[in-house]
Structure 1
């Protein structure tokens, strides 16, 4: 099974257009695609101030706070508090969204898939085993609270905090060991209508 580690320290951070933070692309498909052409995109953003989020028409998004005290998102007039107790929200990139920090800067993981082409799901995992959902095309495992070892085909992939393991679809059990949690992101193509 093909797998590769993407180190957090190797990510290239670039400023947002509005200057409210920086973003770093972890992976995108097709490779080299831009904001208007990706089928899916995984990124990490550093949010340094309150302000509007960019619109992504036709995109389904999930935002997960991975560092910091949290953020309150206003999505089309409805407030959602994202913090350590409830760090995740899925919403449409079509929705007008603004963020208000709850006590200092945050880092978040963004998962975006183009509606009609791909869909995604995210879940928190701990030490033990994981099985990817049927139909998954590619998966990402992001270490959150501490180091994490992932064993695939008797090869151990060691992740430090916020490192990402990208792996192709498998129906084998994925062995996980570590002291904290990780986020498992699964991306699958939309079934033809």
Structure 2
């Protein structure tokens, strides 16, 4: 189990140079944008425009702050992504977005097609929830604070902090006194 703190994330330019992204985690740890198995990042989107192309990559996008975007992926109908939507699409298709009402912050999950699969979901943690990790898992706190517990660790996560849990790890519990909004990402092989 590895705690990832928002204050330590790496900010870097978008692949297309039109903005910046905050890299939360990448696997393997020394990978670059052209050879990762999976990557989780967060971006502030302040204007309409094209997405970077990522050949061979499957993407999942969530809006974590702001009204949302209309996503246009070549060959597909436009999709509105707001705070209640999780949308997956191929990263190698021409893609652009139009802001609905002002800037947004998104969470972007990417995995290499044919190597790693991804399953992304949101939960509201109001009490204690236990997780048995059957794949490599990533937990991201969208809003609120949560306490995570394993056999050997108890730690607090604030908004935008994350937890990386390796496959086969001991069960992990997440709890919150108030409602914490958490994104759970499972990466399979």
TM score, norm. by length of structure 2: 0.89
Listed as ranges, the gaps of 5+ residues in structure 1 are: none
Select the residue among 68, 71, 78 that pairs with 1:70. Answer: 68
Cα distance, 1:130–1:84 mapped onto 2, change above 3 Å? same
> Are 1:81 and 2:49 an aligned pair?
no
Matches within 5 A, 1:114-133: 114-127=112-125, 128-132=128-132
| Residues 126/169 of structure 1: CA separation in 2 closer, same or farther (3 Å cut) | farther
How many residues of Structure 1 are paired with residues of Structure 2 in the alignment? 184
Q: Secondary structure at the match of 2:78?
A: strand
| Residue 23 of structure 2 corresponds to residue 10 of structure 1 | no
Distance 1:141 1:85 in 2: 17
Q: Under a length normalisation based on structure 1, what TM-score does the superposition of the two structures give?
A: 0.87
For structure 2, list consecutive stretches of 5 or more residues without a partner in the other structure: none
Aligned runs of 1:152-167 on 2, under 5 Å? 152-167=150-165
RMSD: 1.8
Contact map agreement 1:60 1:93 (CA 8 A) in 2: yes
Deviant stretches of 4+, over 4 Å: none
Partner SS state of residue 184, structure 1: strand
Work out whether residues 140 and 162 of structure 2, in 8 Å CA contact, stay in contact via their aligned partners in 1: yes
CA deviation string 1:123-165 (max 9, x = no partner): 112333243463x1x2111111200111111521211001111
Q: Distance in 2 between matches of 1:31 and 1:154?
A: 24
